[in-house]
A and B are shown apart, each in its own frame.
Chain A
Amino acid sequence: MEAVKKEPVLFEGYVIMPYKYSVGSLASKFFIKIRDSKVLSGAKCPKCHMVNFPPRSVCPKCFSKVEELVELSGKGKLETFTIVHYESSVQAVKPPYAIGVIKLEGADTAITHFIGGVDYKDIKPGMKLEPVFKAKRNANILDIEYFQPA
């Protein structure tokens, strides 16, 4: 056992796993709207009028089929936030960066995204925010660069 403690044999390998997945029928429309028109939208249930953001193609409350996307202003109110200091090579941006949970006008739930365009010490829950879109967009959530004070 002493020999093993001194020199445990470790096998070093790695896993290669490129992947793809479908974002779904209604969410595809949602991301295309962001990419092509810089517009955030919610899925409005025709029966119970709940506005799901992010959109769902079936209402979780009454099972109605949801096909309509309603445009949202994109403006919202910051409910809570953090500033990430922990650094690793796999993050989308370099720390420190701020992440907020933002309740959008006209939606029943919120979105999590970066907060930017503001000194981090000035970030306060309750502040009004609006999205800033990237110049080059690829139909995913990172097409929004961050939310900034409105």
Chain B
Amino acid sequence: MKDKLVRNAAGREVVTEINGNPAVPYLGVGKFKPEGRKAAPPIPTCADYPADGNKVLSDLKTALEKAGLRDGMTISTHHHFRNGDLVANRIFDAAAELGVKDLRWFPSASFPCHEPMIRHLDSGVIHHIEGSMNGPLGDYASSGKMRGLGVLRSHGGRYQAVQDGEVHIDIAVIAAPTSDPFGNCNGVNGPSACGGLGFALADSQYADKVIVVTDNLVPFPCVPWQIMGNNVDSVVVTEKIGDPEKIVSGTTNITKSPDRLLIAELTARFVEAAGILQDGFSFQAGAGGTALSFALFLRDMMRAKNIKARFVRGGSTQYLVDMLNEGLTDYILDGQTFDLAGVRSMRDNPHHIHTNPFVSYNYHNKGNIASMVDVVVLGATEVDVHFNANVVTHSDGRLLHGIGGWQNCLFSKCTILPIPTFRDRIPVIVDEVTTLCGPGELIDVIVTERGIAINPLRQDLIDRTKNSGLPIRSIEALKDEIESICGGAPDKPRFRDNAIAAIKWVDGTVIDIVRQLE
């Protein structure tokens, strides 16, 4: 069947209907005004829950049955266990045993460990996935095998979709490293400790039924209660819910690649030259190799100039924790922890704050943290000459990554993408991105090993860095040089007409679609 397409405000052809529901095409940054009231779960009563607070059920299958699992429901999970998640697969194994079909899986992200879901997609237990798809699941979707349309949302966009009633969660399953029998739970304690549980917040607040699954039951009260038991229907205690070595790494290594180190160093020098590095400033840098090295170069500059940040946004790692302990920042505001040092610090240091997509990213809110951050450093698979960027597909059109917090972070006062100009002969700076994830008007600076390009909309940054001695060039000049090195512009990937996934903007509108590969 051919999808009905319209051209949105970014000039991309997008679907107007997603899995039977109408969808609004992207209208521009800040243009879509939501109306109406937020969604709400049914009103519960204490009369239906044990007065002693003990909600423990014997196993996951029983809990799912008791939650009323049936065909066509939406089941949500969180991805705080990353590639070490042992719970999500078990939910759909149980659903298969119960003979349930056509479920929508609504994870906050999927990982290669979820490859077994392909079996459930093939057999009809799962109808489609709405959440990041990469690795084997990305290939499965890219080849057009999934029955429904995949939907990719940012972390903030996922919260927004649940809050606005765009996605109704029937059953939320929250894997929790530590819980009490009432369902109060957290991610900082227990053998599967992962740090926070913020990605499951919306699920706990808006789902009809909430099941907590833990391998570390403690007597009431479980503190801190990152998820409140008052929202939880039942608690299931099982063996091992996660593989600790894949949840957090023992150590986080900075990149050894000299080219990436150079890009990270140039990024830090740009931040300094642009006058951003001032007492009380704030920054966000992920745990990727280049972003992490950027943070270390910045740290050295902060030490040398005796500058202190007011807050740093995590994903946290040992390196950010060291900065906090050294007094280089007052706070870490942390959405997810990437290593054991981060988990311990979140548990023990009151200045290491657990955040969630509601406070950090939700666009249908009375403001959020993302726009208050002075500078954010993000990755991208492609950037075009209009500074539009792609994070979800590879240049050959395959689904590669989820959006994560990426779209939400673009609202920072200065958004910098440190990227190599090409990877293995594949140009990263192109005429037009394969998939549009972030509009160019929000992307301020591209830092590459062959020069720095500043968005012409940011005349202030251009002026401030004019005499910095930094290699500032036009993005077109960078693109031309790269095409010349790579042996001409690459061929465009060949797609069929039908869409396999929709890419949502932070406000729930459709910014682009991903088509099936030829």
| A and B found bound together | no
Using CB atoms and an 8 Å cutoff, list the residues of chain A in contact with chain B: none
